[in-house]
Structure 1
Amino acid sequence: MACGILQTTGQKRGLLLDPRTKLLLLITVSTFVLGGLGGEKLPFITPALCVLPLVLFLTAGKIRTAVIYLAVFTGAYLAALLLVPQLSGFPQFFLLACTGIFSRVMPGVVLGGLCPLYHDRQ
């Protein structure tokens, strides 16, 4: 079979990013979301960076990972928004800690799953 530039029989691998780009995205998301940078001047930065792992996993073809991330992150965010104000004492503190970990740490951790330690040499 002839080897061509526009060959359609190859693997569908989704969006391929350079490892340096992935690491830059990982550092940016972790810094802004976990550190709370942007504050009142840039209120749209944190939600946009929390959606970034979802978009990258969808474009990479990892639908299951994207759906799990969306479900857990949305659940934690809604719990922090709706349930934490209704509670008091230790249950409020415990739920606030859990939702804080999931909504602040999870985007960086999930995006780290997109950054393998070594490349597939295929």
Structure 2
Amino acid sequence: METVLRNARSAAKQMFLDPRTKILLCLTVSCVMISSDSFGIMNVVLPCLAAIPLLFLILLKKPQIAAYYAVMYAVTATVPRLLMPHLSPLLNLLFTGMIAMFTKLIPGMSMFCLLVLTTTVSEFVAAMDRLHISKKFSIPVSVMFRFLPTIREEYRAIRDAMRLREVGSWRNPMEMLEYRMVPLLTSLVTIGNELSTSALTRGLDAPVRRTSICPVGFHWQDGVALLLCIAVIICFVLSTFYGW
């Protein structure tokens, strides 16, 4: 029975990592990318961190999304350096500064999206129970894990319905805003209430310890990811406090 349960899901979809490891990678990439500057040893560390989401997208067999991510990061990383000598200080602050900010945000946002897409609610709750995290934190976050994909599905359904009626095209932005965004915002309230009720019905807030059939546990690839996070944090500390 255990073998059947473990093989019921593709290993590539799980990114070969425990949910706790994915959360640690997401926090490490986001915090270090936003907090550090490109000088010294961080000139090597930051591109390596930006390559982590690209590597996971390739492992998940998402070549189109991987190519889109690589192009977006390359553009945001090179365009400011090319345009900065030819623009005035005000334009550099408004234009190139915003583009450079996306260089720091895109890897962290991509890691968060990968965390949501490759982690089920049951896996996340089981991992949080292993860490003895309070239900006050794990239950709202587990609801969010289902909330974001449901929003995407709802928007696609609304978009297809508007296309069928030939209304709400890009030629008329106000009409599109009315016929797409208003139904979506109305549905968000209902979706949130339904997901919260579903979580309570499944007993996620029960005071007793929950059992789980999800194969949550650390393996050698989690150890490699942990060593990578420790090395990145050490490089960040050396660069920040010692000017390496």
TM bucket by the smaller chain? 0.7 to 0.9
Secondary structure, in 3 states, of the residue corresponding to 2:116? Answer: coil
The structure number with the bigger radius of gyration is 2
Higher helix share: 2
- Provide the rounded CA distance (Å) in 2 between the counterparts of 1:17 and 1:116: 13
Which residue identity does 1:32 align to in structure 2? V
Residue equivalent to 2:120: 119
Identity of aligned residues (%): 24
C-alpha contact (below 8 Å) 1:84/1:95 kept by paired residues: no
Look up the SS of the partner of 2:114 in the other structure. Answer: coil
Distance verdict in 2 for CA 1:119–1:12, change over 3 Å: closer
Q: Counterpart amino acid of 2:120?
A: H
Deviation per residue, 1:56-96 (Å, 9 max, x gap): 11111122221111111111111111112211133221222
Distance verdict in 2 for CA 1:48–1:72, change over 3 Å:
same
Report the equivalent of 2:49. Answer: 49
Q: Describe the shift of the 1:79–1:48 C-alpha distance in structure 2 as closer, same or farther (beyond 3 A).
A: same
The residue correspondences of 1:1-122 to structure 2 (distance < 5 A) are 13=12, 15-36=15-36, 39-116=39-116, 119=120
Answer yes or no: is the 8 Å Cα contact 2:83–2:96 preserved in 1: no
Q: Secondary structure at the match of 1:43?
A: helix
CA distance in 1, matches of 2:45, 2:31: 11
Q: What's the offset of the Cα at 1:27?
A: 0.8
CA RMSD of aligned residues (A): 2.8
After superposition, the Cα gap between the structure-2 partners of 1:82 and 1:13, relative to the gap in structure 1 and judged at 3 Å, is: same
* Distance in 2 separating the partners of 1:16 and 1:107: 19
TM-superposed deviation, 1:38: 8.5
Whole-Å separation in 1 of the counterparts to 2:43 and 2:81: 16
Q: Distance in 2 between matches of 1:97 and 1:74?
A: 15
Describe the superposition over 1:93-120 as per-residue Cα deviations: whole angstroms up to 9, x where unpaired. 1222221221011110011111118507
Deviation sequence 1:18-77 (CA, Å, 0-9, x none): 211111111111121111078524431111101111111111112222111111111111
In the superposition, relative to structure 1, how do residues 94 and 74 fare at CA in structure 2: closer, same or farther (>3 Å)? same
- Structure 2 unpaired stretches of 5+: 123-244
Give, as a single letter, the amino acid of the residue that structure 2 aligns with 1:66. Answer: A
TM-score between the two structures when normalised by the length of structure 2:
0.42
Assess, with a 3 A threshold, how the Cα gap between structure 1 residues 37 and 89 changes in structure 2: closer, same or farther. Answer: closer
2: CA distance between counterparts of 1:74 and 1:32? 19
Give 2:229's aligned residue.
none
CA distance, structure 2, for counterparts of residue 47 and residue 76 of structure 1: 13
Task: Give the structure-1-normalised TM-score.
Answer: 0.78
Q: 1:38 to 1:74 in 2, by over 3 A?
A: closer
- After TM superposition, give the deviation of residue 11 of structure 1 in Å: 5.2
